[in-house]
A and B are shown apart, each in its own frame.
Chain A
Amino acid sequence: MTAAPTSAVAVAVALGALGGAIGLQAAKDHAYPRADTARTRVLYVRSPAAMKRVTFGFEALTADVYWIRAIQHYGGDRLDKGGATGARRYELLYPLLDIATSLDPYFNIAYRFGAIFLGEPYPGGPGRPDLAVTLLRKGIAAMPHKWEYYHDIAFVYYWRLHDYKAAGEWFQRAASQPNAPNWLPAVAASMVSRSNDRATARFMWQQLLQSEQAWVRRNAERSLLQLEALDQIDQLQAIVARAGPSAGAYSWAALVGRGVLRGVPADPAGTPYTLDPFSGHVGVSSTSSLFPMPAEPARQQ
């Protein structure tokens, strides 16, 4: 055989073998599905200091890897909604963000991501506002004049922990940083003097709606819809109370049938509100994208 046909046969054999291997792997994966998800939940090195040692000057790139893992972890658990057994509780979110921000102390989005999503109540997040504050304090240690971190801590105290005194203090600290927006002193004063109300919450989320970060804007949009839902629930609750139960139970169908409502009311995301047949309590459905609703800050008396 001459050299050219020999090479052609060799290439054909190599391509055939490679094609066969790919086909066999696809068939094998179909026949024996792999539980790869369990492996991605492993965090071999939990110590940020140890991780810093082993990266040999490639800390920023390693921080990016941990950042991507944090997003996947958060997104995976959020979509999973706690999993079949409820075992998925974002347990790696804080360690991943902690390592990412230790490797790259200027990783702005990781601090702010942590502030919002660590504080989100379960199942939308781990419900750990304390860790959100810890992460943001770490950000302040790295960048002491970043007003956004003070603002985010204040927001966690206000929106998640309902500690309005602490929120007011942190808003004041945010206002005293260089380049802080001029609306911060007004918010700080509002916290201290009036505790808070829904209008203040709406105002603050509207400020975040102007953020340059798309994910902050999306979160602000969702929160504003939640506030709108809270307003609608108040109105619906009053209507239900006025109309009273039909045949001993509350139902949207009965209220529509009696002409009290023109149709089954839906929340701003388009999912019908729930109505408890015994208590008449109006709420957001667990299937709605607005669920879970925030524990509402204290209303102004």
Chain B
Amino acid sequence: MRAISIVAVNVFRESVRDRVLYNLVIFALLLIGASYVLGQLTAGQDVKIIKDLGLAATSLFGLFIAIFIGIGLVSKEVERRSIYALLAKPVTRGQFIGGKYAGLALTLTVNVAAMTIGLYLVLGYMGWTETAAMKASWEAPAADPALLKAIVLITIELMLVTAIALFFSTFSTPILSAALTFGLYIAGRFNADLKNLDQVVTSRTTIWIARAVYHVLPDFSAFDVKTEVVHGLPVAPGYVAATAAYGALYIVALLVCATLIFSRRDFK
């Protein structure tokens, strides 16, 4: 456990040194700028749009961090040949993979937490400065705690993307890993189409294969409850818990596979 935490802290420090957290400044400027401009353009929908924008930016910035840092977690060590020094130390390959993953997960969590605080501050300010009549027309309060449900699922989704990127980076080049991770993310977004393929084809074999692929591919659309929370629609805690558990199991499976592949790699 100590070895994992040492690797994880180093990954976090490296991402800070690489100025990854600078995206928070862009996020803050985006939200503050948008909150000022949108009031003039949106016919009273500025709070809804700030929520949409904040959640989308949290998801998108995190996605880029997860993919572009995730694909380099292992390959960078191999390219720089620092992997030799690392594996010569009392660190197993499983601990190395676990530590790398935990480090980037920590970076993403800090990033999402900072963005969440920024989003709530902007929404809180908008709620504070708005008239009671305008507030009555909102579907949900400005600084609505229900937004946290969407943010929790976004965080788990990003951790799943990180696990996929890390998995590919154990046996592939960074460019190919990025392409495969993006591909899997997009396929996972449209996963529901595979489930409903029986509505457009009659072949039992095709339907069976589509169902199998549907279950094997990560279902990224399940993590998206942004629209529901923004409109103040109920999202059952059970749904959030089940989706989080689904993501966690998928992450475990990917990390185990990544460790297996990485353990078999010969660095001689």
Q: Are B56 and A60 in contact (CB under 8 A)?
A: yes
Chain A 236-264 interface 0/1 with B at a Cβ cutoff of 8 Å (1 = within): 00000000000000000000000000000
B56 CB contacts on chain A under 8 angstroms: 58, 60-61
Determine which of A57, A67, A104, A113 lies in contact with B189 in the assembled complex, contact meaning CB atoms within 8 Å.
A57
* Secondary structure of the A contact surface, majority rule: helix
Q: Are A68 and B220 in contact (CB under 8 A)?
A: no
User: A183: CB under 8 A from chain B?
Assistant: no
* Secondary structure of the B contact surface, majority rule: helix
A72 CB contacts on chain B under 8 angstroms: 41
Q: Once the chains are docked, how many angstroms separate the CA of A58 from the CA of B62? A: 14
Chain A 75-112 interface 0/1 with B at a Cβ cutoff of 8 Å (1 = within): 00000000000000000000000000000101011000
A53 CB contacts on chain B under 8 angstroms: 190
- Could you tell me how many residues of chain A have their Cβ less than 8 Å away from some Cβ of chain B? 23
Q: Are A64 and B137 in contact (CB under 8 A)?
A: no
Given contacts A58-B56, A215-B43, contact A64 B189 (CB under 8 A): no
Q: Are A59 and B227 in contact (CB under 8 A)?
A: yes
Q: Are A57 and B220 in contact (CB under 8 A)?
A: yes
Q: Which chain A residue lies CB-closest to B231?
A: A106
B233 CB contacts on chain A under 8 angstroms: 106
Q: B residues 206-236 with Cβ under 8 Å of A? A: 220-221, 224, 226-228, 230-231, 233
B77 CB contacts on chain A under 8 angstroms: none
Given contacts A57-B220, A58-B60, contact A67 B42 (CB under 8 A): yes
Q: Which chain B residue lies CB-closest to A53?
A: B190
Segment at the interface with A among B46-54, B67-75, B247-255: B46-54
Q: Once the chains are docked, how many angstroms separate the CA of A109 from the CA of B45? A: 8
Interface of B toward A, CB cutoff 8 Å: 41-45, 48-49, 52-53, 55-56, 59-60, 133-134, 136-137, 139, 186, 189-190, 220-221, 224, 226-228, 230-231, 233
Q: Once the chains are docked, how many angstroms separate the CA of A64 from the CA of B45? A: 9
Q: Once the chains are docked, how many angstroms separate the CA of A106 from the CA of B225? A: 13
Q: Which chain B residue lies CB-closest to A65?
A: B49
11 contacts between A and B (CB under 8 A): A60-B226, A61-B53, A61-B56, A68-B49, A71-B42, A104-B227, A108-B139, A108-B231, A213-B44, A214-B137, A215-B44
Given contacts A60-B227, A61-B53, A106-B231, contact A212 B133 (CB under 8 A): yes
User: A44: CB under 8 A from chain B?
Assistant: no
Q: Are B60 and A212 in contact (CB under 8 A)?
A: no
Question: Would you give the shortest CB distance from B236 to chain A, in whole angstroms?
Answer: 17
Q: Once the chains are docked, how many angstroms separate the CA of A109 from the CA of B53? A: 18
Q: Are B221 and A61 in contact (CB under 8 A)?
A: no
Determine which of A71, A106, A214 lies in contact with B227 in the assembled complex, contact meaning CB atoms within 8 Å.
A106
Question: Would you give the shortest CB distance from B129 to chain A, in whole angstroms?
Answer: 15
B41 CB contacts on chain A under 8 angstroms: 68, 71-72
Besides the known contacts A61-B52, A64-B52, A212-B137, 9 further A-B residue pairs in the complex with CB atoms under 8 A apart: A56-B186, A63-B52, A67-B49, A68-B42, A72-B41, A104-B227, A106-B228, A214-B137, A215-B43
Q: Which chain A residue lies CB-closest to B46?
A: A64
